[in-house]
Amino acid sequence: MKLTIIGNGNIGSGLAGALAGAGHNVTTVDQGDDIAAAVAGAEVVILATPYGAAADIAGLADFAGKTVVDVSNPITADFSGLLVGHDTSAAESIAALLPGATVVKAFNTVFAQHYASGLKVAGTPIQTYVAADDDAARDTVMALAKDIGLAPVSAGPLKNARYLEPLGFMNIQFGYVLGMGPTVAPQWLAA
């Protein structure tokens, strides 16, 4: 699959390496690059940027008809809370900025360090929660997650990003603020 990842920081680079390793054709770009061309040639676009960059990026390319994956967690600069939450989400805000695109929330609870260490904790694949209003787009992103070794879990409609983003924030709290380190990951278990 032809993928474009916007943002080549730790998360973007980690996803790019994992997806390329799984056989996908991956292009990575940053805000100084030709984002319009990279988006035009992609089947799926992954926004691996801070939430605050989304408004600028929205004006740099035509996202209509694209599946766009939002991996952001809309946290404050001092990591003390969320910028949006509970009655809306970063993913829903990004969907409003990208009319004609299908936005999917995923990968926001996976620390960058996991991409280099095999996407497992104690031998168990890390889960990623995938929310979207479009079933085909959700299935595509779940298949990408499975390709790289994650255990994808359908999280229902895009509005459920309102709960996935606080989960990502809590994961950051456990990992960095409460001292558990960036090797933790949330997990839902079923009997």
Mean pLDDT calculated for residue range 94-99: 97
Sign, Cα dihedral of 33, 102, 11, 21: negative
With a pLDDT cut of 70, the percent of the chain lying above it is 100
CA dihedral defined by 73, 174, 14, 105, rounded to 10 degrees? -30
Would you state the pLDDT for residue 86?
A: 81
The pLDDT of residue 32: 80
Q: With contact defined as beta carbons under 8 Å apart, do 112 and 7 qualify?
A: no
- Both structure tokens of 61: 């390319």
pLDDT digits (tens, 9 = 90+) for 40-70: 999 999 999 999 999 999 999 999 999 999 9
Q: What is the mean pLDDT of the chain?
A: 95
Rounded mean pLDDT, 81-107: 95
Q: Which fold has domain 2-177?
A: Rossmann fold (3.40.50)
Average pLDDT for 76-99:
92
Q: Is 160 helix (H, G, I), strand (E, B) or coil?
A: helix
Query: What's the pLDDT score for residue 85?
Result: 78
Q: Which two tokens stand for residue 131?
A: 């929310």
190 pLDDT exceeds 90? no
In this structure, which amino acid lies at residue 155? A
Look up residue 175 and give its two tokens: 């990992």
Which residues, at least 6 apart from 28, have a Cβ–Cβ distance to it below 8 Å? 4, 5, 6, 7, 8, 12, 13, 16
Distance set, CA 43 to CA 72, 101, 111, 152 (Å): 20, 11, 25, 20
Provide the pairing of β-strand 102-105 with 127-132.
Answer: antiparallel
